[in-house]
A and B are shown apart, each in its own frame.
Chain A
Amino acid sequence: MSGRSASLARRQRRFRWVVITLVVAFFVLPLLGALEFTTRELRTGARTGATWATLVDVNKVSTDYPALKEGFLYSIGLSLITVLIMLALLVPTMTWVRLRVPGMSRTIEFICLLPLTVPAIVLVVGLAPVYSWLSAWLTYFFGADIGESTLWLGLAYVVLVLPYAYRALDAGLRSIDVRTLSEAARSLGASWATVMWRVVLPNLRGAVLSSAFLAVALVLGEFTIASLFSRNNLQVAMFLLGKSDAQISVAVGLASLVFAFLVLFAMSFVGNTRSGTSPLSRWRGRLRKEPS
């Protein structure tokens, strides 16, 4: 018996290495191609680190590629805004629903998962009138600088990250006993605000962190909405740069992919991600109630 299972294990190991090597080779080939392309002197074909030297030189980037710098900063700002609004919106609501109105939980879940079935491009079509109305009012009250700021895109990005953030936070809330914790705190005289801030939030640390990471990663990679609303962010800047300076834009793309990989790889070692699956598997894994 043990001989047979040992031979099975051996066969599985060989199979595993062959399959993983082949498919990962396909994944890595374009990344290697990008690396090769960005380290080549295009006319002579010689190796050069010039493109990457430019990219790490902050001063040179801001003088030679102002749109890239601007887009990068907007993306950072947008990810901060998105994470803050997302947390402020979801954590209290989801906790409150668990404690006081459990009947609403299915409605909340349905709404949070809805963006998975509404493609971003469709959302753009529907958001266009909402945004033109919003920016008209904001311009009227605060002037065009504020009214037409790129950062308002964060409001739409919150919708994009809803399903992912919901999954992460829901998993976190599931693993703690919110009711007992809050009852204990309330009977010791804590206000609801204290319960949220000093009891629920610290216990949700892991879930809050992973939902924030997912949101940041999604916002840094967002192209569709920003591009169609003619706003600048990292991806849009990269896209437009592709027309004039291919090497720099490919280098930026490669750098962002490698950065995202490193973040995810590091995250797979932290937290309670079960059986080493990617944190992304948690949200897509269970998707029961879809609109019908």
Chain B
Amino acid sequence: MADRQRLGAPSGRRPGGALLGVVPFFLYTTAFLLLPTLIVIVGAFLDGDSRFTLGNLEALRSPAVTTALWQSVALSAVTAVVGAAVGGVLAYAVSTAPAGSLVRRFVTSLCGVLAQFGGVALAFAFMATFGLQGFVNLWLVDLGVNTGGGAWLYTWDKGLTLVYLIFQIPLMVIVFLPAVDGLRPQWREASETLGGTTWTYWRRVGGPILLPPFVGSLLLLFTNAFSAYATAAALISQGSPLVPLQIAASLNSETVLGQENVGKAMALEMVLVVAVVMVIYAWIDRRSSRWLQR
């Protein structure tokens, strides 16, 4: 049997035997990815005694949770828009540098680090710069500015917006640069040969081509900020102004009777928001890939 299979063509005459090869992968991802996701989805509808209930969803309408959701969405939206605008311009600036040049490698590596591996370390760097003892804060105090001891840094609307931007802008560069690189110089030359100005080029050629990938990247930035936990946890020590912090609080605290699965309901809420955004993203990405071969 084994020999026959070994001699068989790679396309596989015995699909049943060939399928055995992917079993380990499916077992693993079932245990550590699909099962946890399922636990969240199902658990959101169960009470403490594993009976079906809509009570957890009711709890989502409590003021603390709705405020956290609204603040999470606002923070993610603002940092996504600002991050996409600044990061988009930076990505274009980088794309005008020749491929393989030092400045390009430097900026893309820096962006890679800040976008992906920052978290707690970046939050600490901001505290050391803008916090009570930070040199920027000390300068501002010397200049007579009332900084309130740098307390603004630890608020979700002012502090977190600034800190989130330091990983949102770099992430925009990483996801948007391939699209900007897809702009052919010939298109610009053609536009200029036909008498177009820089403005006409961006209005009629560059803009329309870059718009779908730009919006797509903006949506990715939104989900990125929406899912972020480490930075917020490092900066915010009082209260839970964002959904991820609410979930963490519900995991850490001794659960109130009848509220055991509210954390799962909030997690489900997060997954739904991210899933909706990602579906729109996938749709836009399909459209944008028509022009830009990556």
A residues apposed to B, CB below 8 Å: 4-5, 8, 12-13, 15-16, 19-20, 23-24, 26-27, 29-34, 36-38, 42, 89-90, 92-93, 96-97, 99-101, 104, 108, 111, 114-130, 155-156, 158-159, 162, 179, 182-183, 186, 191-192, 217-218, 220-221, 223-224, 227-228, 235, 238-239, 242, 246, 249-250, 252-254, 256-257, 260-261, 264-265, 267-269, 274-281, 284-292
B110-137 residues at the A interface, CB under 8 angstroms: 110-122, 124-130, 133-136
Q: Is the CB of B119 within 8 A of A221?
A: yes
Asked whether any CB of chain A lies closer than 8 Å to the CB of B267, the reply is yes
Q: Given that A93-B22, A127-B32, A287-B285 are contacting pairs, would A33 and B110 also be in contact in the complex, using a CB cutoff of 8 Å?
A: no
B99-115 residues at the A interface, CB under 8 angstroms: 99-101, 103-115
Asked whether any CB of chain A lies closer than 8 Å to the CB of B78, the reply is no
CB distance from B139 to the nearest CB of A (A): 11
Query: Can you list 7 pairs linking A and B with CB atoms under 8 Å apart?
Result: A16-B93, A23-B90, A26-B169, A101-B12, A125-B40, A223-B120, A223-B229
Q: Is the CB of A281 within 8 A of B175?
A: yes
Task: Categorize the interface residue count of chain B.
Answer: 35 or more
Q: Given that A26-B166, A125-B267, A289-B282 are contacting pairs, would A20 and B118 also be in contact in the complex, using a CB cutoff of 8 Å?
A: no
**New A-B pairs, 13, CB < 8 Å, besides A156-B32, A238-B121, A276-B100:** A16-B96, A23-B169, A27-B114, A30-B129, A30-B130, A100-B18, A118-B37, A121-B248, A125-B39, A126-B40, A275-B99, A280-B174, A287-B282
Asked whether any CB of chain A lies closer than 8 Å to the CB of B160, the reply is no
Cβ 8 A contact of B106, one of A5, A37, A238, A265: A265
Q: Report the Cα distance A5→B188, complex, angstroms.
A: 10
Closest A residue to B213 using CB positions: A285
Q: Is the CB of A33 within 8 A of B135?
A: yes
- Per-residue 0/1 for B184-197: is the Cβ within 8 Å of any A Cβ (1 yes, 0 no)? 00001100100000
Q: Report the Cα distance A69→B124, complex, angstroms.
A: 19
Q: Is the CB of A227 within 8 A of B233?
A: yes
Q: Is the CB of B129 within 8 A of A29?
A: yes
Q: Report the Cα distance A30→B105, complex, angstroms.
A: 21
Closest B residue to A37 using CB positions: B128
CB distance from A134 to the nearest CB of B (A): 9
Tally inter-chain residue pairs, CB-CB below 8 A: 324
Asked whether any CB of chain A lies closer than 8 Å to the CB of B59, the reply is no
B residues apposed to A, CB below 8 Å: 6, 10-12, 15, 18-19, 21-22, 24-25, 28-29, 31-40, 43, 86, 89-90, 92-94, 96-97, 99-101, 103-122, 124-130, 133-136, 165-166, 169-170, 174-175, 177-178, 181, 188-189, 192, 220, 223, 226-227, 229-230, 233-234, 244, 247-248, 251-252, 263-264, 267, 270-271, 274-275, 278-279, 281-282, 285-286, 289, 294
- For B252, the chain A residues whose CB sits under 8 A away are 228
Q: Report the Cα distance A129→B118, complex, angstroms.
A: 29
Cβ 8 A contact of B22, one of A101, A238, A281: A101
- For A158, the chain B residues whose CB sits under 8 A away are 28, 32
Q: Is the CB of B227 within 8 A of A108?
A: no
- For A38, the chain B residues whose CB sits under 8 A away are 128
- For A287, the chain B residues whose CB sits under 8 A away are 220, 281-282, 285
Q: Is the CB of A217 within 8 A of B40?
A: no
Q: Is the CB of B166 within 8 A of A27?
A: yes
Cβ 8 A contact of B230, one of A26, A37, A224, A275: A224
